[in-house]
Chains A and B, each alone.
Chain A
């Protein structure tokens, strides 16, 4: 298996622009997680899905953030409009659905100017 695949790897955009981050989880994994990592706050859970259904989005910072999982093999995290404080590395991770490890993608590094 190729592992969790994220795109783009790097994104530089200007304040106010829309940003869409993409994730393909490991086939057969029921859970998908979106995390954001910054020096100040560490790894924060934004939202997670179970069988494509959003379970907990309490970590989504504002209405500017939204996430979807239209099918078992694809998820998006959208920021509209983006702000400089959104600059971070965004990780997608998937899990087979039992207590255990998460498998992380390589991350998408977002810079908002």
Chain B
């Protein structure tokens, strides 16, 4: 059974702090690792990583994948109250034969940024 484990489950920080969110996985037929941000409604896409060691960056957010150790981290620098959300990690796998693709999600990390 595919497993995606995120840590910590929740985190409370002050504005301006830097946070690191963790995601480890144990899956068959890995294809990609994705990060999503979920506020009150639907998850919204942040990053997709497929190669080890290549950092993806968007503003204050960045992420990197280690396919040897089977984990990824999401960093947020200079946090703002608007960063408060659930951050979801998902791993994309293909079926045997590679004809089908699905995402398995971790339970998420609830980040609260206080002013």
Q: Which residues of A contact B (CB under 8 A)?
A: 31, 33, 35, 41-45, 48, 50, 55-56, 91, 95, 97-107
Contacts and interface: CB of A to CB of B under 8 A. Distances in A.
14 contacts: A31-B101, A35-B105, A42-B88, A43-B43, A45-B102, A45-B104, A48-B100, A56-B95, A91-B43, A99-B50, A99-B94, A100-B48, A104-B42, A107-B41
Given A43-B88, A99-B32, A33 B41 contact: no
Contacts of A55: 95, 100, 102
Is the contact region of chain B dominated by helix, strand, or loop, or is it mixed?
Answer: strand
Interface string B96-115: 00011111111110000000
Nearest to A98: B101
A103 to B, nearest CB: 8
Interface residues on B, range: 20 to 34
A105 B42 contact: yes
Contacts of B101: 31, 95, 97-99
Interface string B44-71: 1100101000000000000000000000
A90 to B, nearest CB: 12
Contacts of A99: 31-32, 50, 92, 94, 101
A100 B32 CA distance: 7
B108 A33 contact: no
B109 to A, nearest CB: 11
A58 to B, nearest CB: 10
Contact of A42 (B31, B92, B108): B108
Given A97-B101, A100-B92, 6 more contacts: A43-B108, A50-B100, A55-B102, A95-B101, A99-B31, A101-B48
Contacts of B92: 99-100
B73 interface: no
Contacts of A43: 43, 88, 105, 107-108
Contacts of B76: none
A36 to B, nearest CB: 11
